[in-house]
Amino acid sequence: MTVIATTQPRAALTEEARAELSALLGDRFTTSLPVREHHGKDESYHTPFPPDGVAFANSTEEVSAIVKICAKHKLPIIPFGTGTSLEGGIAALAGGITIDLSGMQRILRVSPEDLDVTVQAGVTRKQLNEHLRDTGLFFPIDPGANASLGGMAATRASGTNAVRYGTMRENVLGLTVVLADGRVIRTGGRARKSAAGYDLTRLFVGSEGTLGIITEVTLKLYGIPEAISSAVCAFPTIKGAVDTVIQTIQVGVPVARIELLDEVQIDAVNKYSKLDYAVAPTLFFEFHGTEAGVKEQAEMVAAIAQEHGGMEFAWATRPEDRSKLWQARHDAYYAALALRPGSKGWPTDVCVPISRLADCILETKKDLAESDMLAPMVGHVGDGNFHLVYVLDPENPAELAEAQRLADKMVSRALEMGGTCTGEHGIGYGKMAFLEQETGEAFNVMGDLKRAFDPNNLLNPGKVVRV
């Protein structure tokens, strides 16, 4: 399924609009080409599209004022956090103004007694956890990149801890959002449950900047576990590793993280991060809880792994060892690219019901074995989500076509198994056709919502839905 970016007629950045934005922001509004190019590309292989200008905002009030100017002049508006998205979500397909929220880095309120926090959208997950370090609390959602929390909410991010703590969907209590006409609304609240009206919070979480611009986020926090232990276990077959994951989840072991790296990815990680793991399908585990609880969890999982051919657990209990282990996992994308210097990565992901995970991964691995495409596999397999990175030469049409064929086949297989075209990368403009295939008539309802919230199609146009 070839994916083509849809655009609308490009609105010109007039001198009047430029003057109004400059008067509002001074040198925090720029049309410098290097700055515009930086804001038109993400970490994906998708073609970059730079905006006509970049506005650096410091507050909700400034975002509202910028949006009102853009709405007056019919200029498209693209929110920007840290630029780590993977499906072209920040490309300025129709030009317009990128609003960079990275300067909005205030932690507005921490309530340890209520286990919640409110932050501006530009605060990153590492910055928040550093701030929380002395409170005994932490925010667990960890997509790997040091992404902004506003961007994580906008893309419904998840990551390695999702198997225990859920995704951004479960951990966002409320939002401050600037709408397409510049109005500011607040959704949700600090109560842990509410039956008051439509759940607008969940509507904006995952909307990728197409319905409104998230400027503040209220999040759940968690107590830092008394004990944390990580382990690595290699398997002779990918099936043994996946069956270990399935059985672990089905018997209810509350593991915090279960990550799968296939033999290609482990080889890449060894070379990139200077490690010496066995070059075989490998699971990375992390256990959270009391000393006794962690010990019990680890023993149960080790026994399950042994049943499926798992080798001896290699433990990491010291914080510095755990940090090294998980940093190696988070660097998997760059490790994959290092296998072929000068290459680009085409990352994609799917998510399936846990009972179909083994079938989906094994059939995908079979396709790769029959192709000459280099594509390491990693996965947050505790919740049925896995990723491929096609390592390719973007100037080689044959390689691009083969990656497209394999990616299409993987997504179609996941949909046939009752899964989704993306577990966490989002839609952007790269997976719009798959979203339509997955959701059917609901795709048109999403378009109706987009038109209701943004009748002039100014907010991140050409993404998620067609208008």
The whole-angstrom separation of Cα 137 and Cα 305 is 32
Neighbours of 415 (CB within 10 A): 16
Note whether 158 and 236 are same-domain residues. Answer: no
Note whether 151 and 213 are same-domain residues. Answer: yes
The whole-angstrom separation of Cα 70 and Cα 451 is 17
Is 233 a domain residue? Answer: yes
* Per-residue confidence (pLDDT) for residue 86, from 0 to 100: 85
Count of domains observed in the chain: 3
Note whether 337 and 376 are same-domain residues. Answer: yes
* Cα distances (Å, whole numbers) of residue 250 to 114, 173, 453: 31, 29, 41
Is 440 a domain residue? Answer: no
Note whether 254 and 354 are same-domain residues. Answer: yes
Instruction: Tell me the mean pLDDT in the region 199-214.
Output: 97
Closest CA relative to residue 179, chosen from 200, 152, 155, 153 = 200
Note whether 292 and 278 are same-domain residues. Answer: yes
Note whether 99 and 192 are same-domain residues. Answer: no
Domain boundary pick from 78, 103, 128: 103
Note whether 92 and 123 are same-domain residues. Answer: no
Name the more confident of 322 and 180.
180
Note whether 267 and 398 are same-domain residues. Answer: yes
The whole-angstrom separation of Cα 33 and Cα 445 is 38
Note whether 77 and 195 are same-domain residues. Answer: no
Note whether 247 and 363 are same-domain residues. Answer: yes
* Per-residue confidence (pLDDT) for residue 321, from 0 to 100: 87
Is 442 a domain residue? Answer: no
Domain boundary pick from 223, 246, 266: 223
Instruction: Tell me the mean pLDDT in the region 119-138.
Output: 97
* Per-residue confidence (pLDDT) for residue 7, from 0 to 100: 53
- Specify the pTM: 0.93
**What is the domain extent for residue 62?**
15-103
**50-96, pLDDT tens digit by residue?**
999 999 999 999 999 999 999 999 999 999 999 988 888 999 999 99
Is 239 a domain residue? Answer: yes
Note whether 299 and 373 are same-domain residues. Answer: yes
* Per-residue confidence (pLDDT) for residue 465, from 0 to 100: 95
Is 427 a domain residue? Answer: no
Instruction: Tell me the mean pLDDT in the region 451-460.
Output: 97
Residue 76's CATH number? 3.30.43.10
**12-48, pLDDT tens digit by residue?**
899 999 999 999 999 999 999 999 999 999 888 788 9
For residues 237, 239, 241, 242, the Cα torsion angle rounded to the nearest 10 degrees is 160
Is 37 a domain residue? Answer: yes
**349-372, pLDDT tens digit by residue?**
999 999 999 999 999 999 999 999
| Average pLDDT for the chain | 94
Instruction: Tell me the mean pLDDT in the region 434-463.
Output: 96
Note whether 77 and 121 are same-domain residues. Answer: no
Contact between 434 and 348 (Cβ < 8 Å): no
Residue 214's CATH number? 3.30.465.10
Is 436 a domain residue? Answer: no
Is 362 a domain residue? Answer: yes
Residue 2, pLDDT above cutoff 60: no
For residue 372, the cross-strand partners are none
